[in-house]
Structure 1
Amino acid sequence: MGTADDDGVFEVYRDRVDRPLSRLFREYGLREIEWFTLGMVANVTARVASLLPPLVLGVAIDAVFVGESDYTLPLVPDAWLPTGDEAQFWFSVAVIVGSFVVTGVFTWIYGVAANVFAHRVMHDVRTDSFAKMQRLDMPFFDDKQTGEVMSVLNNDASNLEVFLDNALQNSARLGVMVLGIAAVLVYLNWQLALVTLVVIPAMVGFTLWFMRAVEPRYVAQRSSVGDLNTRLENSLGGVELVKASATEDHETEKVTAASYSYFEHTMAVLRLNYLYRPGMELLAGVAFAATFLVGGVWLFSGAPGPFTGELSVGAFVTFIFLTQRIVTPLAEVSNIVDQYENAKASSERVFGLMDVPVKITGPDDHAPLDDVAGRVEYRDVDFAYPETALAAAEGDEHGELVLSDVTFTAEPGETVALVGPTGAGKSTVCKLLLRLYDVTDGEIRLDGTDIREYALEDLRGAIGYVSQDTVLFDGTVAENIRYGRFDASHEDVVAAAKDAEAHEFIQRLPQGYDTRVGEDGVKLSGGQRQRLSIARTVLQDPEILVFDEATSAVDTETELLIQRSLERLTEDRTTFVIAHRLSTVRDADRILVLDGGEIVERGTHEALLEDGGLYATLWSVQAGEIESLPDEFLADARRRAAERPPRDGED
């Protein structure tokens, strides 16, 4: 078992889950208790009814055919029973037929009720798990393999359904059959019953050993399923890169290794099953053979050894039938244990996901955010990514600072550009505004209020975010533009597309706005995907805009068209623009130059060029005035930026 040092947050919280199947029933099973109760009652009724035919047959043999005893049934007053051989025969036939009818009807009721119960619980578990996954903080997704989460939502939820549908009810059936058969056998001949039931303690001990031995193997098997799903998802998601790099064999080797690991863990489970199930069948078979041997000798030669009394032919026949009946459910204990251990491992993973704490939340008594002016203040903001997702969940162990002492103000309606070398912290600054992460120190204020005082949905609803990594869903063009404003009319969708310079290319698609874009928009070019993302933000009509390399995947002509539309869109909105291509931000009201997580320069385009610092150097490279950026040249630019005194009004 891993420790907090080498396991992720998912594994750590999974290992902390206590009595997972009991918790599953408490939190989810009790919601559907009426279906569970109906299934359990029907199951017990059907099993009790199924015990009547062998019992009635034995009584009929002794009383009607052999004539060695009176016609009596346990728990039935003699006054209710017919007299005379013929009447007793037909009564026996009626009881046997009636018991089969009752067994069939109540088995059907049990099947329906058990399936409704199991599938409703599975539905609730899957949807609650997905809802929790949606609420988890970004560090979880930075650190967690999505294949494992998919395994929880699909494989583990299905394992729980199998357990609730089969194992839980079969356990009740097994209990009723064993106790019922034992009671009937003891009633008929308690001495011979001891021979039949003597193997039960051995079966219980064998089962307990199996459960202890197989549990860690199931945990390892479920983990290997998550690893395999992750490997498959990564390989298929990056298939274009794989083909372009001619690394098909490399990816196949990785999938083969993950698949073989799953195979090995599965075989480790099956090897125990191969030992357990035949072992249980052997013990049950020994019970049957011993019963047949002792009972047969008893009939031929009288009570053998320490046994006393008489054994009738009818009682012996009933023993043989019921002993055979007890063999099957006892042999099926392996399936029940198999499903139990599988469900236990799966429920630990489900509740491990459920128990991961969410740190980034809004207060219950949150501040109102109705009329947004758009004044954004960063005050002495420091930020460090957590060392691990577990550190984020536990609220400690931050790594090195990636942002340090970031302080600036964006007035309502201003456009603020963030530029700088790759890895300078530009995107992180804006992600903090959305509270995808929370500041390590300092604060960010919107309209004078710390953003942590607002409800998350209100804060994020006021901000339109266009990422350089465009996300599209497998739906139509119109559905993707409408995402976030699902009630928007078609006319509004078209207007947003026109503002994003997307309308013309959409009209050229096979079905226009009804064209399906494929998973992650694979049927569109990078520039087309970005324009749809911009159209989606236009349609949402937020008060604050964030464009993170929003035009990085479009050609120069399209960029100019988009820039023109963005100028209209940003005219009265506070806007943050992150750009590597400095030509797109030269008209910004203020440009912040970040380097190493710090703001090293700030000002307008013209003022920064006059300073001759880092911004001027980057501009010269992009303008082609110099061919490359030597390390010493960049260091000198940074030194000049650091030595320049602040202008009036600067922090």
Structure 2
Amino acid sequence: MSRAETFETELDAYRNRVERPLVRLFRGYAAGQRWWLLVGIVGSVLAYGALLVTPVVLGTTIDAVFNGKGAYTLPLVPAAWLPTDRAAQFRLSAAVVGVSLFGGAVLQWVRGVAMNFFAHGVMYSIRVDAYEKMQRLDMTFFDNKETGEVMSILNNDTSNLETFFDNALGDSVRIVVIVGGILAVLLYTNYQLALVTLGAVPLLVGFTWWFVRLIEPRYARHRETVGDLNTRIENGLGGIELVKTTATESYENERLRGVSQDVFDAQMDVLKLSYFYRPGMQLITGAALLATFVLGGLWVFSGPPLFFSGELTTGDFVVFVLLTQRLTGPMAQLSNVVDWYQNAKASGKRICGLMDVPVRIEDGPDPDPLEDPDGRIEYDDVTFAYGGPLRGSKESTGERPETGDGEVVLDGVDLSVEPGETVAIVGPTGAGKSTVAKLLLRLYDATDGAVRVDGHDVRDVGLADLRSAIGYVSQETFLFDGTVAENVRYGRFDTDREEVVAAAEAAEAHGFVERLPEGYDTRVGERGVKLSGGQRQRIAIARTVLQDPEILLLDEATSAVDTETEYLIQRSLDRLAEDRTTLVIAHRLSTVKDADRIVVLDDGEVVERGTHEELLAADGLYANLWGIQAGEVDSLPDGFLERATEPSADGRT
């Protein structure tokens, strides 16, 4: 069973509410490419209209030139312009056919270029807007959505839309022009025999309606399984080191086989029905061709059969056979249009669902400026629950369903940090330490209470102002696949090389960078895999040094490195923290014992606060944690182990 079958995320909920996604996307994005679309449609009409010229001219030529029956006429051409000599009539017929064939080829090229510019332009705009929307979504969205699923929307689903807007629209015009033109010519030539050919139309419509009803849920299922497959591949490649060190390659292979089997099964469900539909369409149109050929042939040989009346010339019969044969291809092509439509509809629902997910953390209509902040931080009776409704949000009034369990992670936290002061937050795993840091950055908003910087509620301050004032160094350092210099200056893109080097020197990174093969121009690989953990961390610190923030936020910045590297990193952090307001989230108590104040969290509540010496003297939770890390105690307080090993609402610390 796939992820999509086991629970519904917020994106799934909004996707399921989307109606007429292709109409919505067409209205929203086609306007910017309307001239290409207009050229493509006009080119299509003329190109496919040219295909009707040859059968009509051949029919007239056979009757008037070769059999000498009737006058030599061409549609839309005045009789006075036409020659009366048979040889001249033949030459004109050949010229008209040649011009129509050549002109049709040129118009097909124009049609193809225009429709591709239109389709790719629309795809480009949708992909960019979808990516920009994801950049604006708050972290709660990404907590509940796999990376592979999101990538599937940006890649596979936008590509499906491009295919629809190019191929399906173009072929739809082709079907309308050719089928409409053929039926008009047939009705004009001999309406009685045309009714035989038209008898297939109700069958084709009914068969297509049945197919659409059955294929739509199968396409939706197929798109979901593709998202699951992308997620599994992304997870397997992202965790390749863990896979290898635990010798679980066979386990991961089996998991990939499982989701690949789901994709295979879903795709086969689509293809089996499609392969039944296409031959069925061909059978119906082929039966129409056979009936037209038999009745028309009998009519030419022995007069009107059955209840038909009048004359059917050899030329008219040739026109019927040729045009009815050309009717078969477009009608059979209708199956591809339906396929593209259903596939694009499923993809369009996923894209529109993404566009509909609300951006809950964004600037207000008139955000307060945060210029040259002093760096005073306050947490005023802050309560937070992952997935719970936010104060003043639509969720809290019941207008939108909650998507999480609302388990409280922080409960009534009060904390203040004065400008230039260093305050450490410590506690067991799952106490809510990192959540405190993320509320300050406004990666999440408090469920109740307020977080303030210089007296401004962070919800009232512009996000760019707030986050540019805070330098954040976390345990999980992320580097982009670029050079060392590019990663150091990330966020300060106009910084020159001298400033980059100075920042690296301040972060104790310059020495190892100089020893890299190309120094600051060395590529670090995806997520910085070519560097050690300590090296990545020092690059991140150099990036923060270059930012020169007023507030420094350190979240377990040295917990994943060896002692020597920790010393180097800690020395650079101490230098960085001078004269700055610093909030330190720490697991190793030895790194924060010199902090101005230490706040102890347990189960989301502040249980102790004071200096290192004061907390040791109080002989509470902090003293027990210190004793454990220093090897001075052998036992834990009652209930501590249960709290420390209990996961938080979404697995965070």
**TM-score normalised over the length of structure 2:** 0.94
Q: Pick the aligned partner of 1:491 from 473, 494, 498.
A: 498
State whether residues 3 and 228 of structure 2, in contact with CA within 8 Å, keep that contact through their aligned partners in structure 1.
Answer: no
CA distance in 1, matches of 2:261, 2:407: 39
Name the CA shift for 1:422/1:2 in 2 (closer, same or farther; >3 Å): closer
Name the residue aligned to 2:37.
36
| 2: CA distance, partners of 1:353 / 1:81 | 62
Q: CA 1:388–1:331 in 2, change beyond 3 Å: closer, same or farther?
A: farther
1:306-341 deviations in whole A, cap 9, x for unaligned?
111111111111111111111111111111111111
CA distance in 2, matches of 1:2, 1:433: 33
1:374-413 equivalent positions in 2, closer than 5 A:
374-386=375-387, 394=400, 396=402, 399-413=406-420
Which position in structure 2 is the counterpart of 1:425?
432
After TM superposition, list the pairs within 5 Å mapping 1:107-506 onto structure 2: 107-386=108-387, 394=400, 396=402, 399-506=406-513
Any idea what SS the aligned residue of 2:407 has?
strand
Question: How much identity, in percent, do the aligned residues show?
Answer: 61
> Out of 561, 582, 585, which is 1:578 matched to?
585
Quote how far apart the aligned CAs of 1:553 are: 2.5
- The reply on whether 1:613 has 2:620 as its aligned counterpart is yes
Q: Which of 521, 526, 533 is the matching residue for 2:528? A: 521
8 A contact 1:160–1:347 mirrored in 2: yes
Q: Runs of 4 or more off by more than 3 Å in structure 1?
A: 1-6, 387-398, 631-635
CA distance in 2, matches of 1:98, 1:511: 63
CA distance in 1, matches of 2:640, 2:74: 100
| Cα distance, 1:551 vs structure 2 | 1.3
Consecutive unaligned residues in structure 2, runs of 5 or more: 645-653
Q: Deviations over 1:397-417 (max 9, x none)?
A: 652211111111111111111
Q: Confirm or deny: 8 A CA contact 1:8 1:388 kept in the other structure.
A: no
1:566 aligns with 2:573: yes
Q: Describe the superposition over 1:252-298 as per-residue Cα deviations: whole angstroms up to 9, x where unpaired.
A: 11110100011001000011011100000001111111111011100
**2:9 match:** 8
Instruction: Say whether the 8 Å CA contact 1:527–1:554 is kept in structure 2.
Output: yes
Contact 1:425–1:596 (8 Å) recurs in 2: yes
Query: Which region of structure 1 is more displaced relative to structure 2, 170-179 or 546-555?
Result: 546-555
What is the CA–CA distance in structure 2 between the aligned matches of 1:608 and 1:291, rounded to whole Å? 98
1:85 corresponds to 2:92: no
Partner amino acid, structure 2, of 1:320: V
Unaligned 5+ segments in structure 1 are 639-651
In 1, Cα distance between equivalents of 2:4 and 2:571: 55
Counterpart contact for 1:391–1:398, Cα < 8 Å: no
**How far is 1:632 from its partner?**
3.4
| Residue equivalent to 1:641 | none
Q: CA deviation at 1:633?
A: 9.2
Corresponding position: 1:600 with 2:607:
yes
> Helix, strand or coil for the counterpart of 1:79?
helix
Distance in structure 1 (CA, Å) of the matches to 2:574 and 2:401 = 41
Q: In the alignment, is the contact (CA less than 8 A) between 1:509 and 1:515 conserved in 2? A: yes
Query: Is the contact made by 2:420 and 2:580 (CA closer than 8 Å) also made in structure 1?
Result: yes
Q: CA deviation at 1:564?
A: 2.5
- How many Å separate the matches in 2 of 1:374 and 1:234? 39
Question: What displacement does 1:233 show?
Answer: 1.1
Task: Give how far 1:221 is off.
Answer: 0.4
Please tell me the residue identity of whatever aligns with 2:546.
Answer: L
Amino acid at match of 1:477: V
Deviation at residue 562 of structure 1 after TM alignment? 2.6
CA distance in 2: counterparts of 1:574 and 1:302, whole angstroms: 102
Offset of 1:38 from its aligned partner?
0.5
Change (3 A) 1:450 1:398: farther
Following superposition, the deviation at residue 476 of structure 1 comes to 1.0
Q: Contact 2:413/2:605 (CA < 8 Å) preserved in 1?
A: yes
The one-letter code matched in structure 2 to 1:518 is G
Return the alpha-carbon distance in structure 2 between the equivalents of residues 622 and 607 of structure 1. Answer: 18
Deviation at 1:602, TM superposition (A): 0.9
Indicate how the Cα distance of structure 1 residues 239 and 391 shifts in structure 2: closer, same or farther if over 3 A, else same.
Answer: farther
Asked if residue 101 in structure 1 is aligned to residue 95 in structure 2, the reply is no
Q: Give 1:634 deviation, angstroms.
A: 5.4
Shift of 1:447: 0.7
Q: Deviations over 1:457-479 (max 9, x none)?
A: 21111111111111111111111
Partner of 1:19: 20
In 2, Cα distance between equivalents of 1:68 and 1:355: 67
Distance 2:6 2:211 in 1: 31
**2:96 aligned partner, one-letter code:** V
Q: Provide the rounded CA distance (Å) in 1 between the counterparts of 2:635 and 2:349.
A: 54
The equivalent of 1:647 in structure 2 is none
Contact 1:159–1:342 under 8 Å retained in 2: yes
Q: Counterpart of 2:554 in 1: which secondary structure?
A: strand
Q: Does 1:531 align with 2:538?
A: yes
Task: Compute the displacement of 1:558 (Å).
Answer: 2.7
Taking the aligned partners of 1:362 and 1:233, their CA distance within structure 2 comes to 32
Alpha-carbon RMSD:
2.1
Distance in structure 2 (CA, Å) of the matches to 1:232 and 1:566: 37
Q: 2:631 corresponds to which residue?
A: 624
Q: Residues 455 and 507 from structure 1, CA distance in 2 versus in 1: closer, same or farther, beyond 3 angstroms?
A: same
Q: Aligned equivalents of 1:287 and 1:91: distance in 2?
A: 32
Q: CA 1:7 to 1:596, structure 2 compared with 1: closer, same or farther past 3 Å?
A: same
Q: Does the CA-based 8 Å contact 1:468-1:550 persist in structure 2?
A: yes
Q: When the two structures are aligned, how many residues end up with a matched partner? A: 636
Task: Report the Cα distance in structure 1 between the residues aligned to 2:172 and 2:637, rounded to whole angstroms.
Answer: 72
Match of 2:379, SS?
A: strand
What one-letter code is carried by the residue in structure 1 that aligns with 2:452? R
Secondary structure of residue in 2 paired with 1:469: coil
* Paired letter, 2:517: P
Q: Do 1:517 and 1:523's aligned partners in 2 also have CA atoms closer than 8 Å?
A: yes
Cα distance in 1 for partners of 2:427, 2:243 equals 31
CA distance in 2, matches of 1:504, 1:294: 91
The CA deviation at 1:34 is: 0.6
Query: Following TM superposition, by how much is the alpha carbon of 1:559 offset from its aligned partner in structure 2, in angstroms?
Result: 2.2
Q: Secondary structure at the match of 1:418?
A: strand
Q: Structure 1 residues 84, 165: CA separation in 2 closer, same or farther (over 3 Å shift)?
A: same
Q: What is the CA distance between 1:541 and its match in structure 2?
A: 1.0
What residue identity is the alignment partner of 1:508? Answer: R
Secondary structure, aligned partner of 1:374:
coil
CA shift at 1:2, angstroms? 12
Is contact 1:594-1:601 (8 Å) kept? yes
Please state how far the C-alpha of 1:387 moved relative to its aligned partner: 6.0
Partner SS, residue 386 of structure 2: strand
1:187 counterpart letter in structure 2: Y
Q: Residues 138 and 360 of structure 2 are in contact (CA less than 8 Å); yes or no, is this contact kept in structure 1?
A: yes
Aligned residue for 2:384, secondary structure, equals strand
How far is the alpha carbon of 1:391 from its aligned partner? 7.1
CA distance in 2 between counterparts of 1:629 and 1:478 reads 48
Q: In structure 2, what residue type is equivalent to 1:191? A: Q
